[in-house]
Structure 1
Amino acid sequence: MTSYVFTHATVLDGTEGMEPQPNMTVVVNEGVIEKVGPAASTVGPLGAREIDLAGAYLAPGLVNLHVHLCGSGKPTSAGAAGDLIDKVVGNPLGRWYLRRTLKAHAQQQLASGVTTVRSVGDPGFADVDVRDAIDAGRYPGPRLVASGVGVTVPGGHGAGLFAHVASTPEEARAIVRDCFAHKCDLVKLFITGGVFDAEVEGEPGVLRMSPEVAQAACDEARKLGLRTAAHIESAEGVRAGLEAGVDTIEHGAALDDELIALFKRNGAGRASSLTCTVSPALPFVELDPAKTHSTEVQKVNGRIVFEGIVQAAKQALAAGIPVGLGTDSSCPYITQYDMWREVVYFERIVGASRQMALHTATLGNARILGLGNETGSVEAGKAADLIVLDRNPLENLEALRDVRMVMARGVLDEHPRVKRLAELDVELDGFLPKPV
């Protein structure tokens, strides 16, 4: 593996109170950051390739906590997506095509500066196959933490898309055991409904999964050493998830004092975290329902979910609860290259500082995954997961939109190419919040 010496860079190390460190050298050897120090006194191994980054910024690769790799983000209805997935998963050629699609989307994440991805529901355990291929060096890609197929209930969110149905606690345990047999890294639960599921105005995030089924899935996952993440979009669902011992609450809803206490000491006796996902909710608020393939009822419910996600993130930050960031890629208008938008939303809508937003998208997210000692910051001994930027994101987080170089576990892409969906970009840019 090639060794690298990045010289004269301004380093943003990913720590919570990070400040620009100018004129620094970062030495990468065998895929690991070997040294970080002043350019005048830091040298690399003999034969290393030197890259002068004068005027550029070197930061940790981003970590995206909430991704479905099966879709591009082009708007479609949930029913149409489910019909397509049924056809694809049901035959060998379709499964090959699915793996090919997930590979391309994982590589889009990487080209956009995301060096670690957590998939939280993809059909046919195809994300596990892609993870294994990347880890084996068959093709480049981000570090992939894969959930495979999730656990839902009859009529529940994700049914027919990327979750198997459990009608009883024992069926939930069996699905978890199947995930373990497929070597998944975590188990995804779909505890409440979502915006597309809601049929009544004012009732998004209806509790679908019984406490008994949720508890059985979490207990089985814990027994097998697997973490859990749960789709939840109501306060009732947050309570059910935390009492079952879910590790990460995905999306969330406005919290009360009791829920905050449960977050800090949940049913499993561990501290749970919240994954903030403004990206999938905002288009429902800002765009005409015809564009998002939704109804007027779903638009109203989309606003309720959006406000709940933002409020929960604000409350969690104030209470010292770990908050992570993810995009929910594959949802309508959520591409595989827009993690930078979620980081911007975290600053401009949730109210985090730019330092906190960048820290959350790097080291903070890595810690939530249990990978904080491996990635997420520019420190000696950690994996060489790095991005090079032309502008300082601590001045404007939109600098993350254009990545000059990306390195994942020591493999460098000097000219990353993102295949953008121009029409979607124009519409999303139309309601991008202005800098504070």
Structure 2
Amino acid sequence: MTTPSELLITARWVLRGPRGLRLPHGGVLLRDSVVAAVGPAAEVAAMAGPAATRLVYPHGTVLPGFVDGHVHLSLDGGEDPVDALLRSGPAALEAGVAERARLLLSTGVTTVRDLGDRADAAVRLRDEISAGALPGPRILAASAPLTPPGGHCWFLGGEVSGDQEILAKVRRNAAAGADVIKVMASGGYITAGGAEMRESQFDERQLGLIVAEAGRFGLPVAAHAHGIASIVAAANAGVRTVEHCLWLDEDDRVTRPEKHVRALAEQGIAACCTVSGHDWRRKVETEGEAAARAFYGRIGWMHERGVPLIVGTDAGIHAAVFDDFVGTLELYEWLGFSAEAIVELATAESARLLGIGDRTGQLTPGYRADLVVVDGDPLTDLSALRAVRLVVANGRSRAPAGLPPEAGR
């Protein structure tokens, strides 16, 4: 359904996004695709016109739409997503990315960063969603990630060899409409026969070329990097974000190098430590809590040392599904982050670090109409975020399947 010219939503709680901005018995007025007013319910209601649609959630919470900073819409999240991708034709690919975007939206995710697609599928979907032709979140698309011949995710079409091909691929992605340039600075486990996760695929000079060329088009660079050497090279080259950020040493051990993490923090380079709800719970069950905390504890360790964090699910790889964003947030709860900090990370902070914090991630007048309504209070019970009742993305509202948007009146 399309949001009318005015939509007034009142609820038991309104969370503005940044920590501490919590309103009891609050209201949000949307006018076309923009937040027009936020405040006490009675005051905001008085600003709404007589024709405004009014939705009341007496036990619910309104908060900004979620930001998933790392997904792959071209991959299906199944047993062998790479094989499935290589066997799918253009029509199946188009249908698949659209359905996965719809699933993300149904969980309250209103912005995603797609960090590697095939045949610019995510770029085209971004434009269709923006035009209102299909439902889905705002997409920041990277197109095909740069990788050496046969390197990690070569099957997405971004293979490059030598400086000229590197520069040409950056220009090609920019011309195709990319919002960000992605580079596979290290290997990864889903690519058979490719570099090991700890191994670097580009040196610091080459990464610097990519950053400089992307900068000519005003585009940030996101670097997939698991190994210490690849993370350090990417940071020295000036990338905007480091994806995964395991800090693997030469023996494939997850480490915590103080000197290097301080450098990341000093440069303001964000880490998107991707994890799915399935993966972290499986690790706890199969390896024990101590091993899981040693592995995932690096997230809190980086946060304590001032490294900015972006929430990302890596949806699309094996068992990383598109309808369990909250499963990822529950890892942060397990690690000891407060519910208020988690909501901020998933909304205002991730939006800021992706360079769109001036238009989304907060319920602030003048910002885009991106929000989610849930039953209950997520600051006292994070699982309330699973009870989605309404999602508004860029001014277009949708209720989860089978649930009328008026639910909660």
Shorter chain as denominator, the TM-score bin is 0.7 to 0.9
Asked if 1:51 corresponds to 2:55, the answer is yes
User: Matched residues in 2 for 1:230 and 1:385: separation?
Assistant: 28
Tell me how far 1:263 sits from its aligned partner.
Answer: 1.4
Asked if 1:148 corresponds to 2:143, the answer is yes
Q: Which of 325, 330, 333 does residue 319 from structure 2 map onto?
A: 333
User: Matched residues in 1 for 2:106 and 2:398: separation?
Assistant: 8
Q: Which of 58, 70, 75 does residue 71 from structure 1 map onto?
A: 75
Q: Counterpart of 2:30?
A: 28
Q: Check conservation: 1:198, 1:206, Cα contact below 8 A.
A: no
Q: Which of 4, 25, 28 does residue 7 from structure 2 map onto?
A: 4
- For the structure 1 residues 320 and 163, does the alpha-carbon distance in structure 2 shift closer, same or farther, using more than 3 Å as the test? farther
Q: Check conservation: 1:59, 1:378, Cα contact below 8 A.
A: yes
Q: Render the CA deviation track for 1:232-255: whole Å, top value 9, x for unaligned.
A: 112111101101111110010244
Q: Check conservation: 2:153, 2:191, Cα contact below 8 A.
A: no
Q: Counterpart of 1:243?
A: 236
User: Matched residues in 2 for 1:238 and 1:8: separation?
Assistant: 44
Q: Check conservation: 2:77, 2:318, Cα contact below 8 A.
A: yes
- For the structure 1 residues 158 and 275, does the alpha-carbon distance in structure 2 shift closer, same or farther, using more than 3 Å as the test? same
Q: Counterpart of 1:360?
A: 345
Q: Counterpart of 2:39?
A: 37
Q: Counterpart of 1:188?
A: 182
**TM-score normalized with structure 2 length:** 0.88
The AA in structure 2 aligned to 1:380 is P
Q: Check conservation: 1:235, 1:255, Cα contact below 8 A.
A: no
Tell me how far 1:272 sits from its aligned partner.
Answer: 1.1
Q: Counterpart of 2:379?
A: 394
Q: Check conservation: 1:406, 1:416, Cα contact below 8 A.
A: no
How many matched pairs? 386
Q: Render the CA deviation track for 1:151-182: whole Å, top value 9, x for unaligned.
A: 0112321111x241112122111111010110
Q: Check conservation: 1:111, 1:417, Cα contact below 8 A.
A: no
Within a 5 Å distance, the mapping from 1:373-412 to structure 2 comes to 373-412=358-397
Q: Counterpart of 2:252?
A: none
Tell me how far 1:287 sits from its aligned partner.
Answer: 7.6
Asked if 1:285 corresponds to 2:283, the answer is yes
The AA in structure 1 aligned to 2:357 is G
Within a 5 Å distance, the mapping from 1:294-305 to structure 2 comes to none
User: Matched residues in 2 for 1:284 and 1:167: separation?
Assistant: 38
SS in 1 for 2:67: strand
User: Matched residues in 2 for 1:164 and 1:198: separation?
Assistant: 16
SS in 2 for 1:415: coil
Gaps of 5+ in 1: 89-93, 289-298, 419-436
SS in 2 for 1:233: strand
Q: Check conservation: 2:273, 2:310, Cα contact below 8 A.
A: yes
Q: Counterpart of 1:322?
A: 308
Tell me how far 1:276 sits from its aligned partner.
Answer: 1.8
Q: Check conservation: 1:134, 1:141, Cα contact below 8 A.
A: yes
The AA in structure 1 aligned to 2:271 is L
- For the structure 1 residues 417 and 282, does the alpha-carbon distance in structure 2 shift closer, same or farther, using more than 3 Å as the test? farther
Tell me how far 1:14 sits from its aligned partner.
Answer: 1.3
SS in 1 for 2:362: coil
Q: Which of 269, 272, 297 does residue 272 from structure 1 map onto?
A: 269
Tell me how far 1:18 sits from its aligned partner.
Answer: 4.3
Q: Counterpart of 1:296?
A: none
The AA in structure 1 aligned to 2:14 is V
Asked if 1:347 corresponds to 2:333, the answer is yes
User: Matched residues in 1 for 2:326 and 2:11: separation?
Assistant: 25
Q: Check conservation: 1:11, 1:24, Cα contact below 8 A.
A: yes
- For the structure 1 residues 9 and 378, does the alpha-carbon distance in structure 2 shift closer, same or farther, using more than 3 Å as the test? farther
Q: Which of 155, 161, 166 does residue 160 from structure 2 map onto?
A: 166
- For the structure 1 residues 327 and 417, does the alpha-carbon distance in structure 2 shift closer, same or farther, using more than 3 Å as the test? farther
User: Matched residues in 2 for 1:283 and 1:210: separation?
Assistant: 35
- For the structure 1 residues 307 and 188, does the alpha-carbon distance in structure 2 shift closer, same or farther, using more than 3 Å as the test? farther
Tell me how far 1:403 sits from its aligned partner.
Answer: 0.8
Gaps of 5+ in 2: 247-254, 404-409
Tell me how far 1:338 sits from its aligned partner.
Answer: 1.2
Q: Which of 2, 12, 16 does residue 13 from structure 1 map onto?
A: 16
The AA in structure 2 aligned to 1:316 is M
Q: Check conservation: 1:170, 1:216, Cα contact below 8 A.
A: no
Tell me how far 1:72 sits from its aligned partner.
Answer: 2.8
Q: Counterpart of 1:103?
A: 98
Q: Counterpart of 2:207?
A: 214
Tell me how far 1:309 sits from its aligned partner.
Answer: 6.3
Q: Counterpart of 1:252?
A: 245
User: Matched residues in 1 for 2:293 and 2:146: separation?
Assistant: 26
Q: Render the CA deviation track for 1:211-231: whole Å, top value 9, x for unaligned.
A: 232222121111221111111
- For the structure 1 residues 13 and 401, does the alpha-carbon distance in structure 2 shift closer, same or farther, using more than 3 Å as the test? same
Q: Check conservation: 1:404, 1:416, Cα contact below 8 A.
A: no
Tell me how far 1:17 sits from its aligned partner.
Answer: 3.2
Tell me how far 1:307 sits from its aligned partner.
Answer: 6.8
Tell me how far 1:206 sits from its aligned partner.
Answer: 1.7
Q: Check conservation: 1:198, 1:205, Cα contact below 8 A.
A: no
Seq. identity, %: 31
User: Matched residues in 2 for 1:277 and 1:362: separation?
Assistant: 16
Q: Check conservation: 1:229, 1:247, Cα contact below 8 A.
A: yes
User: Matched residues in 2 for 1:179 and 1:130: separation?
Assistant: 15
Q: Render the CA deviation track for 1:342-366: whole Å, top value 9, x for unaligned.
A: 11111213x3211111110001110
Q: Counterpart of 1:372?
A: 357
User: Matched residues in 2 for 1:284 and 1:70: separation?
Assistant: 24
- For the structure 1 residues 212 and 167, does the alpha-carbon distance in structure 2 shift closer, same or farther, using more than 3 Å as the test? farther
The AA in structure 1 aligned to 2:180 is L
SS in 2 for 1:69: coil
User: Matched residues in 2 for 1:168 and 1:376: separation?
Assistant: 39
Q: Check conservation: 2:265, 2:305, Cα contact below 8 A.
A: no
User: Matched residues in 2 for 1:221 and 1:167: separation?
Assistant: 17
Within a 5 Å distance, the mapping from 1:226-237 to structure 2 comes to 226-237=219-230
